[in-house]
Amino acid sequence: MSYPISVGILTFNNSKTLARALESVREFDDIIICDGGSTDDTLEIAKKYNARIISQSREHLNEDNTIANFSGVRNQTLAVARNEWFCFIDSDEYLSKEAVHEMGAIAQKTPVIFDAYQLPRKRIYQDRVVECSTTYPNYQMRFFRIPATNGFIKSVHERIDLKLGAQVGYLSACEYVPFEFTYEAWRKKLLYYLAIEVKRHEHVTLLHWLTHTLVNNARASLAYFVKYLLMLVSCRGHHMPLWYELMQHWYHWKLIALTGAKFLRPKRG
């Protein structure tokens, strides 16, 4: 069976994980790969799954072909989608069979009840499903009707922007997100995100930084700390490593420091 759903996936030398991602969405009838210039077997794998391949626009990339504006390249996939219903996943993620069938049933049903759906996400660590993490519950709006949206927003940690009045539901089946990073590799990835955030904050005023960046990130860090203490007491399932949990705090305070440097740095003269 083929479901009338378009799925968008960003790639750049992802041959190690792409087949798994594509296998999970093979029942969707429109697979879009937006590639950043892969030199490994990524595109050959995509062709085996009859994916349509488009190139990431240079305006959204850095000089080394890394993505500078994630919303920009995500919007490229929306622009060429053939279906009203759209789903997006990363090349190292995969949907459960239950999630695929749940989405398929929704896409084929009329009238439409919800315009977008929050998708539950679970980490896979050391080949086991993670049940205990400070990032839980982890829901992201990954499945929606394109006409009900204004496209993706934010250059990093991008999200879909819904039109006024759009109704949101929740899927019961989940997406799996394997975590195969070492401490050094994860830190490098977070520094990459931080660099994009700093650029995005270039023209932020002191008032905005104090009332939004500082407050929101300090609050998020505190929430992670409280959740971690509660998790130690109440959750007996498989955990993420301690260094991963600590990096949640590090990221938020590093973001505060980097974006606030221009305000906190002593003026000379």
Amino acid, res. 117: Y
Using an 8 Å Cβ cutoff, are 67 and 56 in contact?
A: yes
The pLDDT tens digits of the residues spanning 121-130 come to: 999 999 999 9
Round to whole Å and give the CA distance between 15 and 173.
26
Q: Please report, for residues 61, 73, 85, the alpha-carbon distance to residue 32 in angstroms, rounded to integers and kept in the order given.
A: 19, 12, 13
- At 264 the pLDDT is 80
Q: Which residue reads 């041959």 in tokens?
A: 15
Confidence of residue 265 (pLDDT cuts 50, 70, 90): confident
Pairing of strands 85-88, 52-55: unpaired
If DSSP codes are grouped into helix, strand and coil, which group holds residue 26? coil
Length of the chain in residues, anyone?
269
* Secondary structure of 135-201 as H, E, C letters: CCCCEEEEEEEHHHEEEEECCCCCEEEECCCCCEEECCCCEEEECCCCHHHHHHHHHHHHHHHHHHC
Chain segment 84-125, per-residue pLDDT in tens: 999 999 999 999 999 999 999 999 998 999 999 999 999 999
pLDDT score, position 110: 87
Looking at the chain, the whole-number percentage of residues with pLDDT higher than 90 is: 94
Going by pLDDT thresholds of 50, 70 and 90, the confidence category of residue 267 is: low
pLDDT at position 266 over 90: no
Pairwise CA distance, residues 190 & 159, whole Å:
18
Query: Looking at the predicted structure, is the pLDDT value of residue 175 above 70?
Result: yes
First to last CA, the chain: 71
Q: How far apart are CA 193 and CA 251, in angstroms?
A: 9
Report the largest interatomic distance among the alpha carbons of the chain, rounded to a whole angstrom.
Answer: 71
pLDDT of 268 higher than 70: no
Given a contact cutoff of 8 angstroms between Cβ atoms, the answer to whether 56 and 31 are in contact is: no
Place of tokens 């890394």: 66
DSSP one-letter code for 15 = T
